[in-house]
Structure 1
């Protein structure tokens, strides 16, 4: 496993998950109530369009990470769907980070030299 490449892919994925997650929370929890209760759709426009475009980047970074760590398609699909539910992208990012860090730790322990026994 290319440890350096996996770490870079994980960082890119985490940044995108947080950005997309924050935009979605602002869109749903602030923008939609303002639009439908207050008649002001400025927040929806300001967060909805960037969320949509950045969600596509989230999918690309999630795909890149999944291919590097060899996740099954089911796991990649769940991560992709998490970007569409408020607050769920933060949960998915945490689980993905834990999984990747565990894989990196097991790779590091396999690569470590074994102690010499006499």
Structure 2
């Protein structure tokens, strides 16, 4: 079955699943990064710098899978940029994921 975007529903479902996983992973690693910053600058604990590196790579993959989903569901550019930036604010990316997932499921019957 194909929807109005020209993409099979199964392709949109896979893109949505990737987006959901990476939105949660990015949100969790962003919280870990905040923890690392507090430990480093408030408590003075060193040695947690690897958290920033992991978060950076996870966020990069989040950008890729979100752009993939945006193309498939034909989000306008401003909405795409907003969803991409949601992954930079703790917990906002997870909230946006919930709202966008509900919208996509309603629009495409995924």
- TM-score (ref. length: structure 1): 0.83
Which one scores higher on RCO, CA 8 angstroms, separation ≥ 6?
2
Residue-pair matches, total: 104
Is 1:64 the equivalent of 2:38?
A: no
What residue in structure 2 maps to residue 12 of structure 1?
18
Shift of 1:95: 1.3
**Equivalents in 1 of 2:89, 2:76: separation in Å?**
21
Q: Could you list the runs of 5+ residues in structure 2 that have no partner in the other structure? A: none
Q: Could you tell me which residue of structure 1 aligns to residue 42 of structure 2?
A: 37
Q: Bigger radius of gyration, 1 or 2?
A: 1
After superposition, the CA RMSD in angstroms is 1.3
TM-score, normalising length: structure 2: 0.88
Structure 1 unaligned runs (5+)? 109-118
Residue 103 of structure 1 deviates from its aligned partner by 1.1
1:51 to 2:55 alignment: yes
Q: 2:94 matched to 1:93? A: no
> 1:112 — aligned with what?
none
